[in-house]
Amino acid sequence: MKKYEKLLWEKYQKSGQPGIEERFRHALGVKKEALELIDCFGFPIDKNKAAVAALLHDYAKFESEERFREVIRKYKLDPEISELNPVVWHSLLGPYIIREELGLVDPDILAAVRNHTLGSPEMGLLEEVIYLADITEENRRGPEFEAARRLSRRDFYGAILVKVEALLKAFPGEHNRKLYQKYTEVKCRF
């Protein structure tokens, strides 16, 4: 596990972006939260996979817009992805960058990274845990985070619903909803 923590920290440092310490703490918090959710509900999930997915869920967070566009071209992905809010590109395109840079090819981990922001009706249990841990980890502040965190130990899917509702508020409008629906229903191709 330390290997992935080190790789993530090095990746963030190379970005030269502000906020890398906070983002790194967030990744560590998501790992801790994911493992606690697995224990709390007794989920039959490989904890090593969960820890890796949690640590790497924001691996591509500091990539440039040009790097994301390069990934879209290289993998012949739908160019409409670039019409989505750039805040979601790191999750949709992160699995491709992780595979290229780290050689990690586990489809469960890559799917959890891909779906940690928007989610998907097709998520497996590991994906759901990472999706929820991303909003309930202890470093997140705000009413939607606190509401999800309060529910997270007693009503797993109720807490997930809090995140879904927060996303609908964050990305209003029919055009956005149609685009996001399209990308949450598409199967991963990695």
* pLDDT band at residue 38 under the 50/70/90 scheme: very high
For range 55-84, the mean pLDDT: 94
Count of structural domains within the chain: 1
Domain coverage including residue 108: 2-185
- Residue 140 domain-assigned (yes or no): yes
For range 58-83, the mean pLDDT: 94
For range 127-152, the mean pLDDT: 95
- Residue 35 domain-assigned (yes or no): yes
For range 99-109, the mean pLDDT: 98
For residues 26 and 138, what is the distance between their CA atoms, to the nearest angstrom?
Answer: 8
**Can you give the CATH number for the domain in which 121 is found?**
1.10.3210.10
- Residue 93 domain-assigned (yes or no): yes
For range 98-123, the mean pLDDT: 95
- Alpha-carbon separation of residue 76 from 80, 86, 179, 190 (angstroms): 11, 18, 18, 12
What pLDDT is attached to residue 185?
A: 56
For residues 173 and 121, what is the distance between their CA atoms, to the nearest angstrom?
Answer: 20
What pLDDT is attached to residue 151?
A: 95
- Between the CA atoms of 164, 170, 171 and 173, what dihedral angle is there, to the nearest 10 degrees? 100
What pLDDT is attached to residue 83?
A: 83
Residue 186 has pLDDT above 60, yes or no: no
For residues 111 and 117, what is the distance between their CA atoms, to the nearest angstrom?
Answer: 11
Mean pLDDT of the chain: 91
Q: What is the DSSP string of 115-126?
A: HTTT--TT--HH
Q: What is the DSSP string of 128-160?
A: HHHHHHHHHSTT--SHHHHHHHHHTTT-HHHHH
- Residue 190 domain-assigned (yes or no): no
Residue 187 has pLDDT above 70, yes or no: no
What pLDDT is attached to residue 172?
A: 73
Question: Is the full-model pTM beyond 0.85?
Answer: yes
- Alpha-carbon separation of residue 190 from 38, 52, 94, 126, 147 (angstroms): 25, 17, 11, 17, 34
